[in-house]
Amino acid sequence: MNMELVNRTAIVTGGASGIGLLACQELAKQGANVVLLDFNGQAAEEEAQKINASGGKAIALEVDVRNHKQVQACADRALKEFGSIDILINCAGGNAARVYNYWGPWQDMPYEAIDWGIDVNLKGAVFCARAVLGTMIDQKRGVIVNVGSIDGLTGATVGIEYSASKSGMIAFTKSLALCGAPYSVRSVCVVPGPVLTRPAMAKMKTPLGRAAEPIEIVNLILYLCSDKAAFITGSTHLIDGGRACGGMA
């Protein structure tokens, strides 16, 4: 067990599945108190129960990250339950093209899909950071991890609003880092390439010839949350198998 994370309280959005869930499970193994936030409240509750049954400490809260009132209520509940908010991992997100099953030209994409993409992928992270930053500043300790995407660096023809939102996470991270630095509150951005959270990801090419295992992404996130990374803030960390280098014809 990494003693640096024992009794730290971590809020993880998108905590009921994928990288968010794995991050919750690994944080709990390291002794952290975990707050699973997810739009699917039932799934989040089931996963929190599993963590508790394994000896961890977790609660689940249903939230739509597009709703700042719900987000603030979740932050307040986490603080009341555990007494601190030490880590925020903004994992919630998704490609609106897939969510809305729209694969046509972007200029014909329904406006409601574009709204959804920007609101979930960028505004949700902004709302969540807004809800916890004051507490972290008062504590003079905290880490915010924003999960970006390789598409935010390279661009993409499918999901232009997705690329824009994920690119925005990089500048957002820098601004948070500047705001938090006088109070030892750090902010970092993790930018994965293809990750095997969905079978289709295996088809995305990388110079290393494979997609990442989810645990590889989570291991980087946990390192950045730990005191070993105490001098790291405002930076963007690619874990993409070299995909951002180009040459992926």
Cβ(211)–Cβ(167) under 8 Å?
no
Helix (H, G, I), strand (E, B) or coil at 6: coil
Is 162 a known active-site residue?
yes
Query: Maximum CA pair distance of the chain?
Result: 52
CA-to-CA separations, 113 to 38, 94, 103, 127, 141, in angstroms, rounded = 19, 11, 12, 20, 37
Residues 6 or more apart whose CB falls under 8 angstroms from that of 78 comprise 9, 11, 35, 59, 61, 85
> Looking at 100, 111, 162, 183, which residue is catalytic?
162
**CA atoms of 108 and 101, how far apart (whole Å):** 13
Q: Active-site residues: which are they? A: 162
